[in-house]
Amino acid sequence: MNIDQKVSLTIEAINTLTELCAPLTEAQWKTATDCPGWSVQDNISHLVGIENMLLGKPPTTHKSPKYDYIKNPIGEHNEHEIDARRSLLGSEVFAEWKATAAERAQQLQTADAEYFAKPMMMPTGPGTLGDFLDIRILDLWIHDQDIRRALNISGNHGGPCAEHTIDRLIRTLPIVVGKRAATPEGESVSITISGAVPRTIYVSVSEGRANIVPASPANLLCEITMDSTVFTALATGRKQSTELNWTSTGDTALAQRIVSQLNMMI
């Protein structure tokens, strides 16, 4: 995607989240989500903190307790912003989100090429502010889905933001199939994603390395099928393989290893 497309998708994801959250009640804001320790409100607080950082605003000076679900420095940084807003009403956090979202959209729509070329350290390594938009689209859409699952509000399963996110998650499948699930040398598997974002991915192991291949190999050791909503929940670590419906044929033990190791989030 070029920068204009990335900006468009980022703003689309922001606006969709705003529309989703506008009618929420205080009880809904405080509803627990699949993100450990996080309510619906906490998901939005997290996004406020990230977008404020990108706007150049200083981070909170508040320090969160060291909750046991915090696993790394990124998680610790995120939690400071979230915990600083936990005593607020959901409506207050949402008001901050709307103001931040509007300011961020304005920044993205008026920024020049020099802005997007600025280097920054991303969770995935060195990159630019333009590169980071790929992660922002993913993060915004994933938290949209977190909120919808928690509140049983179906929707936004397909479309460009969903496709972008799922395609980025798919890129990590060779690590899952090869390293984590220990698929044997010379063997191949298929993963078919159905539903709103249909994809069929073939992964083969050759010379000790797993790679996505463009066409189905002659023999598949196992074939796995799941809906795109299931893939998203598993690949983002929101659910366990035993909690959701998926099917497989062939080597069922290998299929179970693959599906149980799909979590690709930091």
* Measured CA distances, 214 to 179, 204, 235 (Å): 20, 10, 21
Whether residue 116 is found in the same domain as residue 198:
no
**Overall average pLDDT of the 18-47 stretch:** 98
Q: Is the pLDDT of residue 266 over 60?
A: no
Do residue 128 and residue 179 come from a single domain?
Answer: no
What percent of the chain has pLDDT above 90? 95
Ordered strands of the 199-206 beta sheet: 209-213, 199-206, 188-194, 222-227, 247-250
59 and 136 part of one domain: yes
d(CA 255, CA 259): 6
Q: Same domain, yes or no, for 150 and 172?
A: no
**Residue at a domain's end among 154, 174, 205:** 154
CB 132 within 8 A of CB 124: no
From 3-17, 20-34, 117-131, 221-235, the region with the lowest mean pLDDT: 117-131
Beta-carbon contacts of residue 108 (< 8 Å; ≥ 6 apart): 7, 10, 11
Same-domain check for residues 127 and 237: no
Instruction: Answer yes or no: do 125 and 173 share one domain.
Output: no
Residue for token pair 């977190």: 146
Average pLDDT over residues 66-86: 93
* Domain coverage including residue 133: 3-154
Instruction: Report the number of distinct structural domains present in the chain.
Output: 2
Average pLDDT over residues 206-224: 97
Q: Residue 104 in contact with residue 51, Cβ under 8 Å?
A: yes
Question: What is the CATH classification number for the domain harbouring 95?
Answer: 1.20.120.450
Nearest Cα neighbor of 134 from 155, 99, 160 is 160
CATH number (domain holding residue 227): 3.30.1050.10
